């Protein structure tokens, strides 16, 4: 009789069953762990695979060896099948029945399976982000072109801790979303998906499932966006190669600091400097203008993406994306490269204090306050109608610190001017209701710590850069190192000097004698910080009038006042910043909606002011006494500070034996008298704002004065000088 033997046949592998509720969640992209259900999974005897293909009439797994696997529709658009052994590399082919009224054949869509890939962000990166210490966070979150297992695509990663589900939608999938659910990687709330076939230039957004339903958000880490008012993020990958000129600039920068070098800054709103120019088109024209004027740096009003042009860039929605109004990120790199190659530094305004409430951007990103502080007494800036960042949240703080580093690293920016620092430092800033800190005070301890971390990290990673504070109060130690308890900035805008000096110069010369302290008081505290003297965009807009418009008198007097004021500014301790249009004394206020009045340069008076600015910068750079000891009293000495009746100032700027004598007459009549000087000899008139070449009347000292050894006002030598009305002269001792 035959004996029983074990059967050699095996049971064909089958996909593990999925409960109806889970199938529906996965099919709609509402499940936080879609990779647990979709993609390949080991089963007894082989490998199963599931995909979502709504409305498909047939779906199969296509394998390189031709051993395809037909999938079965389980319902709700979910298809499943299995094969013996490992599945290996494969693609998903779906067929669709087109409308019978068309003559087209059935459509077939073949793609790689997004759900067969491992996470594209590593455990270490997640750990660093969890601690708020990922200094290159932009390399790990956002959208990044990747090639994985020979498949080209884009890795999408987003932080949305309170989202129930997240989907990425875009040009690459028809903006539908149900087939592009992302997986939650950890309790921190980082979501990730690698989407094969997504391409540079395609648009995308995130769909986030909140308690109130689906919301769409732009990528907080998008490095490129659509041109406003469109709001989608755009996949990008830099192909830019920096020039040798930029490389040489960066090497030189690393060996120097702005404290012991000349620094005069031309502040530019790119959209209205010459309207219509792209980043690349601006390069030639802007560089030529700045070189002619002799400025050492250009400072751009914010270039990060912002939806409303009328905000001038100060209400940012795309912190990692250069505004698309003027071109691509690589186009901006080109502009900066060209500036560096021409020997011009680049500073950019940065706005980490607040952001707008646009519902498609950062505001209530995952349905709740996330980037903003949850308590409106700290989380809203009522003056500007914006949200305030939650500086104490590790991930929000990491977002901002990394953003500062991003601009310095990826775009070779030489410095950041931090906007509205006072609004960050004080919990009661422009508020009637506010929450005190843990000590009961009004200092925002979290913001202080954030600023210190940002500055310390930036200076550590990028030698030679400068961090500048727009801080409008008397907060102590703004430019003191963090190791000494300071905020760690390299420079601070001298808002006190700006306010007092403009208030003085706006007065009729007949009344200036009674307000002499307004023009001299800044020297009481000039060395308490590392200061920049700003005549910025804020001072020539909103009814304040241009620099020319602030001046009293007729046209000639206005121009003379501008020239004298600029000479005083350039000689005063501190670096200088001048907003565009003021270099040729534009009469009209600035408006972002129109360009500068360049036609004024056909007028000799306005051309003369521009020529004076060029001369100021030329002499400034050639005179170490004007910039070596900007923040030290050893670099300054009064010659005549108390001549209020004649509205006249005299002082020395000095660096060892290098001395520059500066005399400014803010009255309407010439001052002719003897002034004390530190040494006898010939003092050349290296600058006279009343020279005919600058549009003046030619009053002066015929190019030089001879100082004899007659002691005067405590000085060992003196000379008879003529200081022109509404004018200034700079004198330098001959070698």
What's the chain's length in residues?
Answer: 735
Q: Are strands 466-469 and 491-493 parallel, antiparallel or unpaired?
A: parallel
Cα(450)–Cα(439) distance, rounded to whole angstroms? 18
Cα(405)–Cα(617) distance, rounded to whole angstroms? 30
Q: Decide: 659 and 732 in contact? Cβ < 8 Å.
A: yes
How many beta carbons lie within 10 A of that of residue 106, not counting itself? 10
- Provide the token pair at 408: 């310095």
Cα 511 → chain centroid: 42
Q: Which of 219, 419, 471, 529 is catalytic?
A: 419
What is each CA distance from 235 to 200, 278, 359, 517, in whole angstroms?
5, 20, 21, 57
Q: Decide: 549 and 565 in contact? Cβ < 8 Å.
A: no
Cα(290)–Cα(296) distance, rounded to whole angstroms? 8
Annotated catalytic residue 216: no
- Residue with structure tokens 């009255």? 667
Q: Report angle CA 28, 34, 40 to the nearest 5 degrees.
A: 120
**SS3 labels along 349-414:** EECCCEECCCCCCCCCCCCCCCCECCCHHHHEECCCCEEEECCCCHHHHHHHHHHHHHHHHHCCCC
Cα(629)–Cα(258) distance, rounded to whole angstroms? 11
- Residue with structure tokens 């206020």? 589
Cα(141)–Cα(219) distance, rounded to whole angstroms? 9
97's CB contacts (< 8 A; 6+ apart) are 57, 106
Q: Which of 299, 349, 470, 518 is catalytic?
A: 470
Annotated catalytic residue 517: no
244 phi, psi to nearest 5 deg: -65, -35
- Provide the token pair at 584: 């040729």
* DSSP H or E stretch at residue 651: strand 648-655
Please name which of 509, 544, 525, 522 lies closest in space to residue 647, comparing C-alpha atoms.
Answer: 509
Please name which of 460, 457, 365 lies closest in space to residue 133, comparing C-alpha atoms.
Answer: 457
Buried b (16+ CB within 10 A) or exposed e, 379-389: bbbeebebbbb
What angle in degrees, to the nearest 10, is found between the helix axes of 394-410 and 445-461? Answer: 30
Cα(375)–Cα(366) distance, rounded to whole angstroms? 16
Strands of the sheet containing 91-96, edge to edge, are 69-70, 58-62, 91-96, 107-112
Please name which of 352, 349, 350, 258 lies closest in space to residue 300, comparing C-alpha atoms.
Answer: 349
Q: Decide: 141 and 192 in contact? Cβ < 8 Å.
A: no
Buried b (16+ CB within 10 A) or exposed e, 259-291: bebbbbbbbbbbbbbbeebbbbebbeebbebbe
Cα(49)–Cα(45) distance, rounded to whole angstroms? 13
47 phi, psi to nearest 5 deg: -135, 135
574 phi, psi to nearest 5 deg: 120, 165
- Residue with structure tokens 């422009």? 430
Active centre residues (catalytic): 419, 470
């Amino acid at each position: 009789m035959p004996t029983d033997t074990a059967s050699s046949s095996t049971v064909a592998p089958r996909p593990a069953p999925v409960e109806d509720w889970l199938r529906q969640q996965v099919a709609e992209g509402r499940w936080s762990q879609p990779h647990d259900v979709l993609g390949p999974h080991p089963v007894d005897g082989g490998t199963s695979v599931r995909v979502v293909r709504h409305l498909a009439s047939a779906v199969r797994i296509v394998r390189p060896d031709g051993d395809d696997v037909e999938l079965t529709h389980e319902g709700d658009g979910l298809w499943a099948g299995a094969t013996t052994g490992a599945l290996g590399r494969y693609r998903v082919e779906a067929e669709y029945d087109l409308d019978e009224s068309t003559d087209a054949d059935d459509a077939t869509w073949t793609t790689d399976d997004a759900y067969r890939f491992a996470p594209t962000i590593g455990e270490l990166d997640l750990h660093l982000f969890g601690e708020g210490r990922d200094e290159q966070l932009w390399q790990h979150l956002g959208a990044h072109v990747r090639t994985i297992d020979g498949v080209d695509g884009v890795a999408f990663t987003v932080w949305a801790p309170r989202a129930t589900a997240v989907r990425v939608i875009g040009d690459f999938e028809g903006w539908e979303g149900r087939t592009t659910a992302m997986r939650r990687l950890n309790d921190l709330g980082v979501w990730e998906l690698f989407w094969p076939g997504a391409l540079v230039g395609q648009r995308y957004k995130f769909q986030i499932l909140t308690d109130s339903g689906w919301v769409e958000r732009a990528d907080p880490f998008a490095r490129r966006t659509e041109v406003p008012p469109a709001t989608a993020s755009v996949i990008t990958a830099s192909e830019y190669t920096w020039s040798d000129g930029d490389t040489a600039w960066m090497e030189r920068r690393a060996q120097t600091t702005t404290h012991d070098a000349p620094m005069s800054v031309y502040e530019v709103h790119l959209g209205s400097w010459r309207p219509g120019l792209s980043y690349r088109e601006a390069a030639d024209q802007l560089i030529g203008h700045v070189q002619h004027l002799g400025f050492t740096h250009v400072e751009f009003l914010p270039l990060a993406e912002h939806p409303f042009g009328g905000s001038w860039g100060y209400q940012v929605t795309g912190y990692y994306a250069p505004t698309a109004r003027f071109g691509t990120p690589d186009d901006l790199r080109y502009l900066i490269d060209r500036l560096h190659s021409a020997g011009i530094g680049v500073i950019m305004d940065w706005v980490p204090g607040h952001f707008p409430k646009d519902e498609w951007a950062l505001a209530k990103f995952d349905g709740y306050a996330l980037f903003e502080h949850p308590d409106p007494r700290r989380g809203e800036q009522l003056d500007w109608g914006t949200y305030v960042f939650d500086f104490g949240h590790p991930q929000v703080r990491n977002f901002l610190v990394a953003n500062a580093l991003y601009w310095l690293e990826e775009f070779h920016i030489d410095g950041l001017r931090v906007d509205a620092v006072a609004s960050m430092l004080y919990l009661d800033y422009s508020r009637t209701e506010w929450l005190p800190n843990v000590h009961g005070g009004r200092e925002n301890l979290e913001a202080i710590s954030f600023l210190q971390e940002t500055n310390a990290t930036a200076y550590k990673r990028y030698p030679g850069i400068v961090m500048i504070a727009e801080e409008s109060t008397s907060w102590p130690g703004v430019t003191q190192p963090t190791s000494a308890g300071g905020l760690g900035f390299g420079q601070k805008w001298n808002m006190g000097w700006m306010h007092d000096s403009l208030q003085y110069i706006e007065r009729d010369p007949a009344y200036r004698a009674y307000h002499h302290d307004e023009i001299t008081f800044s020297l009481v505290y000039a060395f308490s910080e590392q200061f920049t003297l700003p005549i910025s965009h804020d001072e020539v807009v909103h009814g304040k009038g241009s620099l020319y418009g602030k001046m009293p008198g007729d046209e000639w007097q206005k121009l003379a006042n501008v020239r004298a004021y600029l000479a005083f500014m350039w000689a005063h301790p501190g670096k200088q910043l001048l907003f565009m249009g003021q270099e040729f004394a534009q009469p009209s206020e600035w408006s972002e909606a129109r360009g500068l009045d360049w036609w004024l340069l056909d007028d000799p008076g306005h051309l003369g002011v521009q020529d004076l600015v060029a001369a100021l910068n030329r002499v400034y750079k050639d005179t170490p006494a004007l910039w070596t000891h900007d923040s030290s009293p050893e670099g300054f000495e009064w010659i005549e500070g108390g001549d209020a009746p004649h509205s006249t100032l005299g002082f020395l700027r000095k660096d060892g034996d290098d001395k520059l004598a500066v005399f400014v007459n803010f009255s309407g009549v010439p001052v002719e008298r003897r002034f004390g000087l530190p040494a006898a000899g010939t003092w050349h008139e290296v600058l006279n704002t009343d020279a005919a070449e600058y549009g003046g009347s030619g009053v002066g000292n015929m190019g030089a004065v001879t100082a004899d050894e007659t002691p005067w006002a405590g000085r060992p030598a003196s000379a008879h000088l003529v200081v022109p009305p509404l004018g200034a002269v700079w004198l330098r001792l001959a070698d």
